[in-house]
Structure 1
């Protein structure tokens, strides 16, 4: 990097020469020459002047000439790798966004939050908040050509700690997310046998069915007792489980091999890990729609419950799902976009990622509701047949007259014949029958089936058991889940590796850095494969992760819209992409997005403060799932993790204040604005 004096001399020469017609200049946040020449002599005035220059959103007439190469001027590497083509870049963005949260949360939340109303709110928030935030993060990475740490330091040194917070969130999420993948990998391996091990209860030593399994069902027993070997409470601990440790090791080996050569090697893996899940999802969807009772499930899905539209709690849950599903705040969109030429149209990319994420969510939801409709219909038919048998027994016992005899055709089509038969009975006979019958209500049965979100693995295991050829469907289902998790973890680890490469100039040692990240991440993941590990995973995934993500995205929006300047940033993008950007994004970034994010953050914080945080545990004595309250130390751990992840923001803020007061000239030099030349159209990936 050049010295400050050289920068000032160069600036003086530029002011005396006309700018070549082929170069383009972007408005700078601060002019180094202007600040140095007008530096106040009084110490008390230094901070005020510098603060006003940075926080002002007024256009500055001083501009910097474009560089000869499309690279940052702040010490970032001069040869930054790029994605092999636009397809691989989009696959990376979509793969990170469409993860396990898309699959296992959306259907449950949709059912319990108004069905069609939940979908309407979700789509509305996606357009007004989700897509603008994706666009902001993608554009920031593409504009600055750096990871999350470097990007926000350049945009606003005052909020430079946001990048470190994103970095820490990626580390913690990466630790437990790899364990989610390990669970699915273990199921995938177990799927290569017939019958599937979770379809039947195991036999004890005396050749009788295991008593603990007999008191529950085989899928739940296999999950808690064979996979997790779960303890009854989070307080009871144990050593890491060998079979899950081996699965985690395989997962981290796959991640390391996929990323060791940078974006080009990662891109080839993404063709499988991103495209294959969509093929499998549509296969499962078609199969589920062919099942009896699917129509009833879809009817409940599409029925919009108007009161849900006015419920603040429904809006809060929808907002949480939107951000956990799309994935802003991790810094991964920024990192992935930093490897694409600046002329790329990232607005279209943001819409593409959001719509493909929505497509995966809706496809999974339709699939789950169709299967749940089949389960409920099957359960209801059994209820009808049981009631018909009761009526026959009462007729034989001469409690009911022969006129109450159900038709023989009822046994062939109970769903349609039973209601007609019961409704056509004379009123006096019906009044004598009803007290002896069990109520068969499809809606109530559906509520029982969708009572709790549970674990997606157990739900999918139950669904697979309903298909003919369950071994085949089990293999492709868990292959789907493994691939979804893999592409998401690759995006998360990209949010760790890219900032390290840019901050510490480690791009020449990318292979060593990748191994150096994956090895300690694997060791840290072993904390979650202990018998009580799943309870810690639930603690982080259900209660912790949303708070720092909301905090990050709020500060990102404020930094870009109010400190760097939304108008200035849109001007940069106009030049960068060679096309006008709608001014509506300035309004969304400046006003609507920060307001909605702040409401969601505060409502989530209040919700966690006033209500007990709970987890679903295994009660080995009664062989069933029970809801337990997390102990006070677990809540303290939650608070500690929230504080420790957001702490870099105030720390870096005060660091910036001290540096600017003590050595303003140094800070002026370190925060030089990034400039660039527009790329030839041929440089943009096809």
Structure 2
């Protein structure tokens, strides 16, 4: 017979007060030591590489400052509602990304499983970017920077370098020595002002491109994945070792690590901003970044880009927000925290645009190019355009070290929080096995080892193709939009928006702004659905450095999209077979402050009546809850 606590709740099971009672050998579920640990962890997760390498480019591409209009429309009516929904769900249930949905609505447990599949994709491929960053950081300590010259063993005869007027003014005096161009014949390279203003590399490739292609990626002609680049494998191993030791003790350690990893990138951003805006040409770069083009507002692609950027940058539909929120005390004001975090993330993205475009404006000015020729996004910005701009500066090694340290820490906290999310989900699924002493360390190690092995194909000679496929189709807009649409519908119409509002009021002491209810019911599903249809209608084949994805690539991309989404109908069928009478009945140990009230009303009319009987433990536990749970960390 199961042993029970004084409240009548089985030991080792979360009771109606949200406190977990330990059961023989099973460690209690921890809580954040204080609210700041939660804030920094969330900030570290949502503020990442996308703020630096995607948002500024989308602003430039989609009408400059006008892009802020669709971006904030999506943020207010789609991003914030889903962001708050997932965080509040975790805090209310005190469960990870899978079991939270099982408790709220058993038939939609597949939503949590689908999110964990996407997190698995992220854990495998996202850390490869950190391996590249470590490789560049190591080479940043060399002088001259190895990607700034054509004198290296990986360079070809097509490599053409150009020195900076700003960084090396002596080279542009009368009688200067240009012997470093000895690998280029006179007819091939004409030192003519009009010629170099059009293209600094009239023939061949820049040293930055050759370093990226031939030294880092070492792409083969047939893009085969048979040979692993051993030095990148060491960088990937180092990234996983650092990640593991940041989280292997669970939130007890993670909550302390994020104080540094979440704040250090801001220091680097500020230093690079001060340097960038003081460079010649910075003003022109900022003008290109912000100049509004009102006509772009009628382009559906602009609205699509704004929507996908919101979903990518706020880490929604990945179970991460639910996992982090689940470690909050029951009466934490997660509504206030979510509003502050959303504002911080958007402000960081806008500020990062100033950092990026001030330096790119300098590069365009120094090399006699238009901004159109130097602006790029994604890996092209971080590993080609920006390193090229930094190599033109005096003391280029110093600035390169700062830049790649920033990139490393921006990606690191996002990575280890994703791993923490997966470990939390698995621990909550199997608490009797994975919450025992030292089980957490072993679980995290297993996740790290498996993901490291699965990530090795991404650093082979053709690994960039697989990387781009996972990046575009693994955590794709199609998957995220579909899951967000389902989450809003489940909370709004199945569980009941009014019931969820009552739960939130019980936690934070007041009801959130009323528009959130209507976002969950109507606006968010509508926006997600329309954007999803646009995404499907405009999907196109990927080309990676001239290599067109073939039949196998198309099959893999389809599998990457369908794998998480298939979890949703599969678990609906499982719930149907198990107990169809309780498919939508929330767990009985969830605290319901107003169980007699309707779960959904519209225009003061009852749409769905109350479904949960009054909980006899509500009154006796209310005082303890509002005082806050004791931290076990």
Local SS of the residue matching 2:499: helix
- Structure 2 stretches lacking a partner, 5+ long: 161-203, 592-617
Local SS of the residue matching 2:146: coil
Q: What does the per-residue CA deviation read over 1:18-51, in whole Å, with 9 as the maximum and x for residues that have no partner?
A: xxxxxxxxxxxxxxxxxxxxxxxxxxxxxxxxxx
Counterparts of 1:82 and 1:319, CA distance in 2 = 33
Counterparts of 1:224 and 1:601, CA distance in 2 = 34
Cross-structure match for 2:559: 640
1:590 aligns with 2:521: yes
1:94 aligns with 2:40: no
Which region of structure 1 is more displaced relative to structure 2, 266-275 or 279-288? 266-275
Cross-structure match for 1:222: 211
Q: Aligned in 2, Cα 1:76/1:560: closer, same or farther, shift over 3 Å? A: farther
1:161 aligns with 2:110: yes
Deviation at 1:70, TM superposition (A): 2.8
State the structure with more CA Rg: 1
Alpha-carbon contact 1:72-1:145 (below 8 Å) kept: no
Alpha-carbon contact 2:375-2:381 (below 8 Å) kept: no
Cross-structure match for 2:613: none
Alpha-carbon contact 2:492-2:517 (below 8 Å) kept: yes
Cross-structure match for 1:566: 497
Alpha-carbon contact 1:372-1:446 (below 8 Å) kept: yes
Q: What does the per-residue CA deviation read over 1:237-267, in whole Å, with 9 as the maximum and x for residues that have no partner?
A: 3321100111111111111111111112112
Task: Normalising by structure 1, report the TM-score.
Answer: 0.75
Q: Aligned in 2, Cα 1:352/1:486: closer, same or farther, shift over 3 Å? A: same
Cross-structure match for 1:182: 131
Counterparts of 1:308 and 1:78, CA distance in 2 = 55
Number of residues of Structure 1 aligned to a counterpart in Structure 2: 548
Deviation at 1:683, TM superposition (A): 4.8
Counterparts of 1:226 and 1:351, CA distance in 2 = 44
Of Structure 1 and Structure 2, which has the larger fraction of its residues in helix? Answer: 1
Cross-structure match for 2:170: none
Cross-structure match for 1:607: 538
Cross-structure match for 2:281: 293
Q: Where do 1:467-478 residues align within 5 Å?
A: 467-478=393-404
Deviation at 1:150, TM superposition (A): 0.4
Local SS of the residue matching 1:592: helix
Cross-structure match for 2:322: 334
Q: Aligned to 2:70, which of 91, 112, 121?
A: 121
Cross-structure match for 1:672: 588
Alpha-carbon contact 1:76-1:502 (below 8 Å) kept: no
Q: Aligned in 2, Cα 1:343/1:532: closer, same or farther, shift over 3 Å? A: same
Deviation at 1:97, TM superposition (A): 0.5
- Structure 1 stretches lacking a partner, 5+ long: 12-64, 381-441, 618-626
Counterparts of 2:265 and 2:351, CA distance in 1 = 11
Deviation at 1:495, TM superposition (A): 2.0
Q: Where do 1:3-22 residues align within 5 Å?
A: none
Q: Where do 1:405-416 residues align within 5 Å?
A: none
Deviation at 1:151, TM superposition (A): 0.7
Counterparts of 1:616 and 1:467, CA distance in 2 = 30
Q: Aligned to 2:472, which of 532, 542, 549?
A: 542
Alpha-carbon contact 1:74-1:671 (below 8 Å) kept: no
Alpha-carbon contact 1:167-1:331 (below 8 Å) kept: yes
Q: Aligned to 2:250, which of 246, 250, 262?
A: 262
1:449 aligns with 2:368: no
Alpha-carbon contact 1:122-1:318 (below 8 Å) kept: yes
Alpha-carbon contact 2:99-2:112 (below 8 Å) kept: yes
Q: CA RMSD in A?
A: 2.9
Cross-structure match for 1:317: 305
1:518 aligns with 2:448: yes
Q: Aligned in 2, Cα 1:363/1:579: closer, same or farther, shift over 3 Å? A: same
